[in-house]
Amino acid sequence: MTRHIDPSQPSALDQITLRSPAELADALPYLMGFHPDDSIVLAALHGDHGRFGGRLRLGIPVSPGEWPYVADQLADCLVSGSEKRASRPDGIIVFLCQDPTAGEKARDVMERLRPLAQRLRTACGELDVPVLEALCISDGRFWSYCCPDTRCCPMDGTPLALPGTSVMAAAATFAGIQVRGSLREMEARLAPLTAPASAVRAQEEALDAATAELVPRILGGVDRGTVRTETLVLVQGLVERFGGAQAAGSPTEADAADDGLVSDEEAAAIILGLQDRTTRDRAAEWMEGPETEAALRVWRAIARRCVGVFGDHAAAPLTLAGWVAMSTGDEPAARVALGMALRVDPDYLFAKLLHQGANEGLDPELLRECLRQERDTRATRRPARMTAHPPSGRPRGRTRPGGHASRGRVRVRRRAGQRRA
């Protein structure tokens, strides 16, 4: 389970008045940037007019036994986080979003989640912050847990507004806010490949071989710098290759095309190389400028190649994908990627720091400037040996380093045990 909190930020949507449960239910995807399926969402309200503040999302725990603890933690997290960023909330809106499983109806979902809604209301009330509305959204319908009037909130639920037909949708379009699809769809773009089986097996074999080749070199220390350079050369080659092949079609089609641009051996070498912290930090320098979109596509593609027993290796490329998205202002995509990184490895420090920064409204320019300074310091120290270096997104008064190697390879041999460097 991974939390995320959206910071309180004024926007064009603050000018929209939501007057009913139906309008609240319709607003949820625009508040989050995606449809948060299988999720608890809490939204803080501030002031007499109920201005939206921080938003918090967490996957719904499968076991009802976890619900009391989770409810207490979420209420405390939202209230304390809101106090740190702005002010204590004056109210909270609760959303429970989950589609029916096999044999269930949407109303069954609503009734099954009713104890969770009640526990969330109690947890918020214990902190002296009332829940002003609690909604269940399931299979295109919604129910209110707070309104007893069946004339406005019928027992069979109320259909959601058709996409794009509400006042909220019009305001979001005017403000340039896009809904990226469902959370499940966004996570699928970063999840390990599962088909075809032959491709998954070939990638896992390449990872086994890369482990035998690279891990002794990384852990031995003597050859670590060479492995670092080889990894960054491969990354630079992929960024240039992806930049020359524009993504087209649906997200699924675009991702499939990107997967075809990376060989199993290249992906394996990069995945293993990124387990070195310094290599990963230097890879984070692809964060701005014209190659940013290509870099994001590269990190998605590399994360998808962390198959089988190598699933925990995905923390590095997932975090890099989250960082690039965060750096370019795509907060919903950043939180999804960072949340997945923390699900893979809850102790992955870089992901934890970025996730906390996103929750607290940290300006990514602060970290970008640190990375630029580190890059410039390296260039001053060793200008003749700079290779495979991400270009700056702005003029820096020096020549761009070389190192083009779009067809670079790392030789691979047999399998050996490996842990993160």
User: Residue 371 sits in a domain of what CATH number?
Assistant: 1.25.40
Q: CA distances (Å), 66 to each of 60, 69, 71, 81, 343, in order?
A: 10, 6, 9, 22, 17
Domain edge (last residue) among 181, 210, 232: 181
Name which residue leads in pLDDT, 219 or 237. Answer: 237
Regarding whether 35 and 139 lie in a shared domain, the answer is yes
From 160, 181, 202, the end of a domain falls on: 181
- For residues 214 and 361, membership in a common domain is answered with yes
DSSP string, 110-166: HHHTHHHHHHHHHHHHHTT--EEEEEEEETTEEEESS---TTTS-TT-EEPPPTT-S
Whether residues 65 and 30 fall in one domain: yes
Rounded CA-CA distance 305/412 in Å is 16
Q: Provide the pLDDT for residue 49.
A: 77
Task: Tell me, yes or no, whether 110 and 254 share the same domain.
Answer: no
Q: What is the mean pLDDT of residues 356-365?
A: 80
Q: Is 398 among the domain residues?
A: no
Structure confidence at residue 166 (pLDDT): 65
Q: Is 167 a domain residue? A: yes
In this structure, the answer to whether residues 222 and 341 fall within a common structural domain is yes
Q: Is residue 109 part of a domain?
A: yes
Q: Is the pLDDT of residue 396 over 50?
A: no
**Same-domain pairing of 130 and 228:** no
Choose the final residue of a domain: 139, 164, 181.
181
Of 90-94, 126-130, 377-381, the least confident: 377-381
The mean pLDDT of 245-260, rounded to a whole number, is 91
Whole-prediction pTM value? 0.77
Least confident range of 28-32, 74-78, 368-372, 395-399: 395-399
Q: In terms of pLDDT, which residue wins out, 322 or 25?
A: 322
Whether residues 274 and 345 share a domain: the answer is: yes
Domain co-membership, 210 together with 237: yes
With vertex at residue 388, the alpha carbon angle to CA 318 and CA 366, rounded to the nearest 5 degrees, is 55
Q: Across residues 322-351, what is the average pLDDT?
A: 93
CA separation for the pair 291, 239 (Å, rounded): 7
Let me know if residue 395 belongs to a domain.
no
Q: Tell me what pLDDT residue 1 has.
A: 43
Instruction: Give the distance from CA 393 to its chain's centroid.
Output: 23
Look at 39-43, 264-268, 341-345, 374-378 and tell me which has the smallest mean pLDDT: 374-378
Q: Which two tokens stand for residue 399?
A: 């020549």
Place 66 in a pLDDT band, splitting at 50, 70 and 90. Answer: very high
For residue 54, the enclosing domain spans 4-181
- Whether 410 is in a domain gets the answer no
Whether residue 401 lies inside any domain: the answer is no
Round to whole Å and give the CA distance between 32 and 56: 9
Is 409 among the domain residues? no
Give the CATH number of the domain where residue 150 resides.
3.40.140.10
Within-domain flag for 408: no
pLDDT digits (tens, 9 = 90+) for 130-153: 999 999 999 999 999 998 888 888
- Give the count of domains, the chain: 2
Is 194 strand, coil or helix?
Answer: coil
Overall average pLDDT of the 377-395 stretch: 60
Q: Which amino acid is at 163?
A: P
Of 358 and 306, more confident: 306
Question: In terms of domains, do 269 and 127 share one?
Answer: no
Q: Does 229 share its domain with 344?
A: yes
Same-domain pairing of 212 and 332:
yes
Q: Is 377 helix (H, G, I), strand (E, B) or coil?
A: helix
- In this structure, the answer to whether residues 58 and 17 fall within a common structural domain is yes
